[in-house]
């Protein structure tokens, strides 16, 4: 084997950093899971070992989030992108006419909306697509969240979709709206929570369903978590693939067909790691400390700038720009040399982005702030 390089501080938006103890345990169990003489990758998805792994992952996830039995918890494939289609395929026709509403706050919610229009009439309930003034400051499009009182939800919509953490833009809903606040009690909320899933306690009882690709904050690529209220099952459009019909997947405890067994296993290790950290309230405290440190530094500097309306700044994905974009390349090269990797922003917004997920410790953010200071001192 080659000598392992020192682990860099990894700010990737996804696939992203995993907890070291999780990687160590997966490595230790690679050839022999719990004395059965096999790797998890080699097991039947219907054998008793994998059934135990999968059921434990589900149980731990329910414990972390406080999910009641009114909801099914499923491990699926295809990522959040596939859910953009699977959601309407399952839900858009549940009340007759295929009608659903979408709140647009950035790249990912726009992608979801666009896909839904292939299956029905998906309208925009609210969008931050224009500049506005908030708290006396000019906010550019996609850097703020329209207030719930301005959302126009059609009473006959099958659901209302939003993305509660825009991974690229860095806009986060600090809370999911209460159903009563939407003025349309029959319309369940459907949330893409991919990039802040398990970053803090979340009140699942406020949503009809939520989904999250694991590779952002909660595991390796290949598995998507879906949590759905059971009364929403069983309304799929006739064209919905049977493997993507939530009712089938839920009835078979995520094993309707072969699930992504190894990814579920590693995600399960992440859930156990989170429980060991003290659960979601404890990880929220740690995430707040990291975000406060980074935003506090950016706000105190005139060399760097984060454009997001302060109350909805994501604690997971922190985009920022340098005063002079001509220095971006030097910034990134210097960061790599200092052991800080994957800081380049998404091409649609430019600049930089630091994703500071659960598994990135405070020391990583401290190292980033140290580098930001040093770069400003030598290039400012």
Ligand X SMILES: *Cc1c(COP(=O)(O)O)cnc(C)c1O
Binding positions for L-glutamate are 46
Instruction: Report the residue number, 14 or 259, with the smaller CB distance to ligand X.
Output: 14
Residues 6 or more apart whose CB falls under 8 angstroms from that of 5 comprise none
Q: 168-207: which residues touch ligand X (CB under 6 A)?
A: 192, 194-195
**Residue closer to ligand X, measured from CB, 91 or 163:** 163
- Map the footprint of ligand X across residues 83-122, applying CB under 6 A: 108
Quick check: is 273 catalytic? Answer: no
Of 216, 290, 315, 344, which one interacts with ligand X (CB under 6 A)?
Answer: 216
Q: 265: which residues sit within 8 A by CB, 6+ positions away? A: 26, 40, 50, 53, 57
Residue 14 lies near ligand X (rule: CB under 6 A): yes
Phi, psi of 343 (to 5 degrees): -95, -5
Using the contact rule CB under 6 A, the part of the chain among 76-84, 267-275, 349-357, 361-369 near ligand X is 76-84
Report, in Å, the least distance between residue 81 CB and ligand X.
Answer: 3
Pair type for strands 99-104 and 121-127: parallel
Nearer to ligand X, 115 or 245 (CB): 115
Q: Is 98:158 a contact under the CB 8 Å cutoff?
A: yes
Helix (H) or strand (E) holding 268: helix 261-277
Query: Which position among 179, 213, 307, 364 is part of the footprint of ligand X (CB under 6 A)?
Result: 213
Please say which residue, 90 or 195, places its beta carbon nearer to ligand X.
Answer: 195
CB of residue 14 vs ligand X: minimum separation in angstroms? 5
d(CA 329, CA 141): 26
Instruction: Tell me the C-alpha distance between 80 and 92, whole Å.
Output: 17
- Contact between residue 121 and residue 186 where contact means Cβ atoms under 8 Å apart: no
9: annotated active-site residue:
no
Find the catalytic residue in 192, 245, 273, 344: 192
Tell me, what DSSP letter sits at residue 189? Answer: E
For ligand X, which is the closer residue by CB, 353 or 372?
353
Catalytic residue among 176, 216, 245, 344: 216
Contact between residue 270 and residue 19 where contact means Cβ atoms under 8 Å apart: yes
* CA geometry: angle 218, 221, 226, nearest 5 deg: 60
Stretch that binds ligand X, among 78-86, 175-183, 227-235, 258-266 (CB under 6 A): 78-86
Closest approach of ligand X to the CB of residue 302, in Å:
30
Number of continuous H segments (helices) and E segments (strands) in the chain: 9, 16
Contact between 238 and 30 under an 8 Å Cβ cutoff? The reply is no
Task: State in angstroms the smallest separation of the CB of 194 from ligand X.
Answer: 4
Among 125, 163, 349, 352, binds ligand X (CB under 6 A): 163
The minimum distance between CB 78 and ligand X, in angstroms, equals 7
CA nearest 242: which of 24, 89, 72?
Answer: 89
> Which listed range, 73-81, 226-234, 271-279, 331-339, lies at the site for ligand X (CB under 6 A)?
73-81
Compute how many other C-beta atoms are within 10 angstroms of the C-beta atom of residue 200: 19
Point out which span in 74-82, 96-104, 145-153, 237-245 binds ligand X (CB under 6 A). Answer: 74-82
What is the smallest separation between the CB atom of 298 and ligand X, expressed in angstroms? Answer: 21
Q: Residue 222, interface with ligand X (CB under 6 A)? A: no
Residue with Cβ nearer ligand X (225 or 372):
225
For 139, the token pair is 């906010």
Q: Which residue is nearest to ligand X (CB)?
A: 79
Catalytic residue chosen out of the listed positions 9, 33, 108, 151: 108
CB of 104 to ligand X, least distance (A): 13
Q: In this structure, what are the phi and psi dihedrals at residue 329, rounded to the nearest 5 degrees?
A: -65, -45
Please identify, using beta-carbon distances, which residue of 146 and 339 lies nearer to ligand X: 146
Which residues 6+ apart lie within 8 Å of 122 measured at CB?
88, 92, 100, 101, 102, 113, 116
Provide the annotated binding site for pyridoxal 5'-phosphate: 80-81, 108, 167, 192, 215, 257-258
The candidate with the shortest Cα–Cα distance to 198, out of 273, 259, 295, is 273
290 given a catalytic annotation: no
Quote the crossing angle between the two packed helices 48-65 and 279-299, to the nearest 10°: 60
Query: Which spans of this chain sit near ligand X (rule: CB under 6 A)?
Result: 14, 79-81, 108, 163, 167, 192, 194-195, 213, 216
Residues carrying an active site annotation: 108, 192, 216
């Amino acid at each position: 084997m080659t000598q392992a390089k020192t682990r860099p501080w990894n700010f990737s938006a996804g696939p992203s950093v995993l907890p070291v103890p999780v990687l160590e345990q997966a490595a230790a169990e690679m050839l022999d899971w719990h004395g059965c003489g096999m790797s998890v990758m080699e097991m039947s998805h219907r054998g008793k070992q994998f059934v135990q792994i999968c059921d434990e992952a589900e149980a731990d996830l329910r414990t972390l989030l406080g999910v009641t039995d009114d909801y099914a918890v499923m491990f699926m494939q295809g990522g959040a992108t596939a859910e953009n289609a699977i959601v309407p395929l399952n839900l858009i026709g549940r009340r007759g006419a295929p009608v659903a509403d979408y709140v647009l706050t950035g790249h990912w919610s726009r992608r979801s909306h666009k896909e839904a229009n292939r299956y029905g009439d998906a309208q925009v309930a609210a969008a931050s697509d224009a500049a506005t003034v908030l708290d006396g400051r000019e906010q550019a499009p996609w850097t703020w969240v329209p207030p719930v009182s301005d959302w126009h939800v059609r009473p006959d919509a099958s659901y209302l979709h939003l993305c509660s953490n825009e991974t690229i833009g860095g806009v986060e809903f600090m809370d999911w709206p209460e159903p009563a606040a939407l003025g349309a009690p029959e319309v369940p909320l459907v949330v893409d929570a991919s990039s802040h899933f398990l970053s803090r306690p979340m009140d699942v009882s406020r949503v009809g369903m939520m989904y999250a690709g694991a590779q952002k904050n909660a595991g390796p690529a290949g598995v998507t978590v879906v949590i759905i209220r059971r009364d929403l099952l069983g309304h799929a459009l006739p064209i919905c693939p049977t493997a993507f019909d939530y009712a089938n997947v839920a009835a078979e405890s995520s094993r309707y067909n072969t699930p992504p067994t190894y990814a579920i296993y590693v995600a399960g290790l992440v859930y156990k790691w989170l429980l060991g950290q003290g659960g979601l309230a404890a990880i929220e405290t740690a995430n707040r400390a990291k975000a406060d440190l980074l935003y506090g530094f950016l706000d105190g500097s005139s060399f760097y700038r984060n454009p997001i309306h302060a109350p909805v700044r994501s604690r997971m994905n922190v985009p920022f720009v340098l005063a002079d974009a001509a220095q971006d390349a030097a910034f990134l090269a210097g960061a790599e040399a200092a052991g800080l990797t994957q800081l380049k922003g998404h091409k649609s917004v430019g600049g930089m982005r630091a994703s500071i997920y659960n598994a990135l410790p405070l020391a990583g953010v401290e190292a980033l702030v140290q580098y930001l200071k040093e770069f400003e001192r030598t290039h400012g």
